[in-house]
Amino acid sequence: MKKLLVLAIVLRILVAGLLFHPDIKTYNYQASFLKKGVFNIYTYLVQNNKMLPIKDDFVYFPLTYFVLGGYQAAISPIFGNGLDSWLANAGSNSVVNDPNIFKYLIALKLPYLVLDIAIAFLLKRFFDDQEKAKKAFILWLFNPFTIFLVYAFSNVDIFAVLLTVIAFLLLKKEKLILASVALGIAAGFKLYPLLFIPFLFIKGKDLKEKVFIVLIPAIILGIIVVPFWSQDFVQSALISGLTTRIFNPGFSIGFGESMIVGLFSISILFFYALLVDKKPKLFNYWVVLLIFIFAFSHFHIAWLLWIAPFIVILAVKKPALSLSLFFLTALAFVIPILYDDRSMTISLFRVYSTWYDLISTPFAIVQKFYDPYNLQSVLHSILAGGSLVIGYKLLSKEEEK
């Protein structure tokens, strides 16, 4: 096991140091203002936009700013001004040609490595059977998806993912209130864990517990968000495209109204759990809820990490599903790679050479032969179909017998 762990860490460091998604530089540049004493990053960035070399908004929730900013403050004595200068450098080529980029990338992604390994150990605790626990541990560390999701795409969502895993461990021990606390803190990084609160509400034993389950995450999120509440925060983080994409309208039902497919499917799921399912298994509902998000929304590749630990648990619990799960995960991975976005593919390799800027993206290559949007739609439809069947199997009582 120790050898495997070392191998897993080596593979992660290779990807962390050699593949570069520009987001990591952007949000770490923004987080670097914490050590300069900036508390409200949302307002600061808007007010100082003209004089800043990098002008993007901070699209994440406050805990991301404080955790990343705090970590940077801790490591800044090691790197001195070099890291700060690199983060503030807006030059597209000089950033990747800096020989220190490898150590900067590894240093900035180091917290992800700690959380990633922590998730591997937490996944073991979902199983009483030692063999299955070991299988989950290995499957988390050795699957080609999560390594690239976390370290190539610099996936800051791992903070929220770890907390949702903790929430489900607490749920397994029937500690619903503590689970809702974990979800509330997770929402301080990213809002999506709140989608699970209605399902946790159903599980509450009595009205008092149900009220606590709903109120606690709301209060925690309120404490985290209220100090920053402003037009700048709302525009930058709360209603940013990434936060609200799940609730983008699906199809028109006339007279200006639209059916929001993502919300519609989550609603079906909730009322099914409430009214039909006598003994709802919350783990299955969480997996199906996330599956619906990927089936019915134009998702960002980073979101796939939200479901990854739960897919690992599912694959260990139900080995018969593992091949289908692997295929559907691979499909879900390919769809964003076909987006018209260089940073999904070619740009990740700019550390090796900026000459790669001359290479066509998969989107542009497909465009020569076929409509790439149509290809995305075809793949997404297959993903949605397969996902629905997996969802059906998870919720069907027959499956449990």
Residues that bind other proteins in the complex, under the rule CB under 8 A:
4, 7, 11, 14-15, 18-19, 93, 97, 99-103, 135, 138-139, 142-144, 147-148, 346, 349, 351-356, 358-359
CB nearer other proteins, residue 320 or residue 358: 358
In whole angstroms, the minimum distance from the beta carbon of 124 to other proteins comes to 14
- What does each C-alpha distance from 182 to 168, 193, 228, 390 come to in angstroms? 9, 9, 21, 27
Give the count of beta carbons closer than 10 Å to the beta carbon of residue 369. 8
In whole angstroms, the minimum distance from the beta carbon of 391 to other proteins comes to 24
Contact 20, 101 (CB under 8 A): yes
CB nearer other proteins, residue 17 or residue 386: 17
In whole angstroms, the minimum distance from the beta carbon of 140 to other proteins comes to 10
In whole angstroms, the minimum distance from the beta carbon of 77 to other proteins comes to 18
CB nearer other proteins, residue 124 or residue 281: 124
The amino acid that residue 373 corresponds to is Y
- What does each C-alpha distance from 188 to 62, 102, 246 come to in angstroms? 6, 30, 18
Q: Which of 322, 287, 281 is nearest to 132 (CA)?
A: 322
Angle at 211 between CA 206 and CA 216, to 5 degrees: 130
CB nearer other proteins, residue 220 or residue 315: 315
In whole angstroms, the minimum distance from the beta carbon of 4 to other proteins comes to 7
In whole angstroms, the minimum distance from the beta carbon of 94 to other proteins comes to 8
Cα 95 from Cα 100, distance rounded (Å): 9
Give the count of beta carbons closer than 10 Å to the beta carbon of residue 205. 10
In whole angstroms, the minimum distance from the beta carbon of 14 to other proteins comes to 5
The amino acid that residue 50 corresponds to is K
Long-range contacts, 22-27 (Cβ 8 Å, 24+): 22/343, 22/347, 23/153, 23/154, 23/156, 23/343, 24/105, 24/108, 24/109, 24/154, 25/86, 25/87, 25/95, 26/54, 26/56, 27/58, 27/60, 27/64, 27/68, 27/156
In whole angstroms, the minimum distance from the beta carbon of 118 to other proteins comes to 19
- What does each C-alpha distance from 118 to 40, 63, 75, 114, 121 come to in angstroms? 30, 19, 21, 6, 5
CB nearer other proteins, residue 54 or residue 346: 346
CB nearer other proteins, residue 39 or residue 349: 349
Give the count of beta carbons closer than 10 Å to the beta carbon of residue 180. 28
In whole angstroms, the minimum distance from the beta carbon of 359 to other proteins comes to 6
CB nearer other proteins, residue 16 or residue 67: 16
Give the count of beta carbons closer than 10 Å to the beta carbon of residue 22. 18
CB nearer other proteins, residue 101 or residue 225: 101
Cα 149 from Cα 169, distance rounded (Å): 23
Contact 324, 331 (CB under 8 A): no
The pair of three-digit structure tokens given for residue 174, joined into one six-digit string: 């029937």
CB nearer other proteins, residue 144 or residue 249: 144
CB nearer other proteins, residue 106 or residue 202: 106
In whole angstroms, the minimum distance from the beta carbon of 248 to other proteins comes to 26
